[in-house]
Amino acid sequence: MSPTSPARTAPSANAHGPTRRLTTAQALVAFLARQYTERDGRRQRLISATWGIFGHGNVAGIGQALVEAGPRGNGDGNGGGANGNANGHSGAGAAHRMPYLQGRNEQAMVHAAVGYARQSGRLSAHAVTTSIGPGATNLVTGAALATINRLPVLLLPGDTFATRPADPVLQQLEVPYAGDVSVNDCLRPVSRYFDRITRPEALIPAALQAMRVLTDPAETGAVTLALPQDVQVEAYDWPEEFFAERDWHVRRPAPDTYELETAVRAIRSARRPLIVAGGGVRHSAAEETLAAFTAATRIPVAATQAGKGALRHDHPADVGGIGHTGTATADELARTADLVIGVGTRFSDFTTASGTLFANPSVRFLHLNIAGFDAHKLAALPLVADARTGLEALTAQLAGRGYRVDPAYETEYTGAKEAWEERVEASFATPDPTARPTQTQVLGLLDALVTEDDIIVNAAGSLPGDLHKLWRTRSPDQYHVEYGYSCMGYEIPAAIGVLLADGARGGPHRPRRPVWALVGDGTYLMNPTEIVTAVQENLPLKLLILQNHGYASIGGLSEAVGAEGFGTAYRHRDADGGFTGPPLPVDLAANAASLGLRVLRATTVDDLRTALSEARDAEGPTCVYVETETPDTVSGPPPAQAWWDVPVAETASRPAAVKAREEYDRQVAARRRHL
């Protein structure tokens, strides 16, 4: 019996109303093209485009549906552009097309979708479709990144046959104890919502639940609808109301009266309060509200990696990054704070220095967060609300009662901030313009070039630590560092997603903002393939490759924990079998050029300054390649200002590990559980 035979076709879900006969895949694409978000009066497409790599598990289903929904399809209007910029109640036509984006790697497609969602303020997202088997399992890393960072992406992997015409079919995982398991079940723990659509009519409730989760500011993340390949092509009489335009309001919940009053009392009684701004400030578009709160109270603001940029670097209350990769200013304030006010943060181990940073014996925590799960961390007084709404309520209450920190405290942290700025200047200084630059000098040259229009994208290696400590953020969205999952290979595809979001927001006649993907050689080798996508779409990606011949970050960590840098350098083997020989003759600049990028090579500080300026002005995708010098005590970044727990071998024969364990035992003794 074929999947589309009369005996397999279910009756209409709405026998008394108008219906439309479509395949399951066609119905899903048509449904997605009519979903909108609305917040603060702004309405936009929820799923503005679909990334896809096609195989036998989705080419005849979602692939064919995207053909019909694209520019040359037989749908209800003319095609939309690759950015999917469809706003307002435009009715039939271009607004209901589904633009398609061609990816080269399934994980990278998810990264690009995540970059798009973050730049869109989580109000617009992309879908990603793959075949079954390796195409589907390649989604897992990207899904984990999206969910950990609370960023919406819709995953549409193909799946094995629901009708089971043969067992096993190609790429089917056979599990002896469960006949309904497929490789897509790997996506369950990294998805905020998961469903397998084994019948066409099951798509209706599943699609609505998927949209609910994608637009829920407290629950959003990766959403997976696994689509068996036979069900994708099965026809069904769909109720017309399934395809009506639907608005999903992104709510801004206000704080509970009791929790608000408790929070106000805690702040008014604090003498050394400190705000820790997390990614929730940005997701809520609460940057101006945070600035108004600090203007009223003069409470200093430290930032997590996701929260950096909540205030401009030159705002009087901004004291920089906090935690293991933070500034001395922020970390010293954290050690003496009597009240830590979290705003939209997860309080990860990098932020808390693995439980050693907040050292005041009487420290308490207050946490404003839209997710109750996060609001209760560190035994905090919870203030469960949208960040903007909650800050507005706090400002009104505190301003009305005349609260403001002691002027001596304000003088203390502003003075410490000025002292840290001198350390930044020293790290960025380039006394010899003919020398090969260090990594921090590279950042200094870029820092001197950019304006508030530029966006910096990074995720892994030693760059996030240097950026968190040193970068001078000039706009709320300039600092795009993914550190929830710190996934190597995120940078290039994410920058493409940022460029697509920027183009959709600005329209076809506004030049795109300069978007820089900063990668080391280790990260570049993980995932360079989406360079081809940037070339194909003619996106003005600015790729900055720093060649340091290996994993610099983990190499340094390896030395610190007594592993002696083992397996972290990209070098030939030596006579003893180790990797301490000459650097590998790898030419990443030539590789980038072979993928279609214009490449500018720089060997000195002066070369790099010129190349960066030329790349910034370029209209097409451009790469700047520089081989960095190992930093010394003058040209390197300031060391870590707080600890991070990486367990060290408790027993070892090599002196490096023995010494590292002694330091570990000393540091771990300072850890607290805040109860």
The reported pLDDT for the residue numbered 94 is 67
Q: Provide the b/e sequence for 526-542 (b: ≥16 CB within 10 Å).
A: bbbebbbbbbebebbbb
The reported pLDDT for the residue numbered 525 is 95
Residue 131 has pLDDT above 70, yes or no: yes
Residue 507 has pLDDT above 80, yes or no: no
Q: What is the pTM of this model?
A: 0.94
The reported pLDDT for the residue numbered 566 is 87
Which of 518, 471, 427, 442 lies closest to 314 in space, CA to CA? 471
Contact 630, 639 (CB under 8 A): no
Q: What is the mean pLDDT of residues 255-283?
A: 98
The reported pLDDT for the residue numbered 579 is 86
Tell me the per-residue pLDDT of 555-588, one tens digit each, with 9 for 90 and over: 888 888 888 888 888 889 988 888 888 889 999 9
Tell me the per-residue pLDDT of 282-339, one tens digit each, with 9 for 90 and over: 999 999 999 999 999 999 999 999 999 999 999 999 999 999 999 999 999 999 999 9
The reported pLDDT for the residue numbered 78 is 32
Residue 509 has pLDDT above 80, yes or no: no
Cα–Cα distance, 247 to 229 (Å, whole number): 30
Assigned architecture for domain 257-419: 3-Layer(aba) Sandwich (3.40)
Higher pLDDT: 601 or 581? It is 601
Cα–Cα distance, 397 to 600 (Å, whole number): 55
Tell me the per-residue pLDDT of 177-211, one tens digit each, with 9 for 90 and over: 999 999 999 999 999 999 999 999 999 999 999 99
Contact 505, 583 (CB under 8 A): no
Q: Provide the b/e sequence for 561-590 (b: ≥16 CB within 10 Å).
A: bbbbbeebbbeeeeeeeebeeeeeeeebbe
The reported pLDDT for the residue numbered 667 is 94
Chain Cα centroid distance, residue 633: 32
User: Do the domains at 19-249 and 429-549+584-627 have one common CATH topology?
Assistant: yes
| Fold exhibited by the domain 429-549+584-627 | Rossmann fold (3.40.50)
Domain ranges of the chain: 19-249, 257-419, 429-549+584-627
**Other CB atoms closer than 10 Å to residue 424's CB: what's the count?**
22
The reported pLDDT for the residue numbered 510 is 67
Residue 629 has pLDDT above 60, yes or no: yes
Q: In what order do the strands lie in the sheet with 541-547?
A: 479-481, 455-458, 515-520, 541-547, 622-627, 598-602
Task: Look at residue 157 and give its three-state secondary structure.
Answer: strand
Tell me the per-residue pLDDT of 361-403, one tens digit each, with 9 for 90 and over: 999 999 999 999 999 999 999 999 999 999 999 999 998 888 9
Contact 605, 441 (CB under 8 A): yes
The reported pLDDT for the residue numbered 87 is 37
Tell me the per-residue pLDDT of 6-59, one tens digit each, with 9 for 90 and over: 334 455 555 568 999 999 999 999 999 999 999 999 999 999 999 999 999 999
Q: What is the mean pLDDT of residues 626-653?
A: 89
Which of 432, 471, 424 lies closest to 603 in space, CA to CA? 432
Average pLDDT over the chain reads: 92
Q: What is the mean pLDDT of residues 119-141?
A: 97
Which of 404, 403, 470 lies closest to 640 in space, CA to CA? 470
| Residue 633: band (very low, low, confident or very high) from pLDDT cuts 50, 70, 90 | low
Q: What is the mean pLDDT of residues 267-283?
A: 98
- CATH fit for domain 19-249, picks 3.30.450.40, 3.40.50.720, 3.40.50.11540, 3.40.50.970: 3.40.50.970
Terminal CA-CA length for the chain: 62
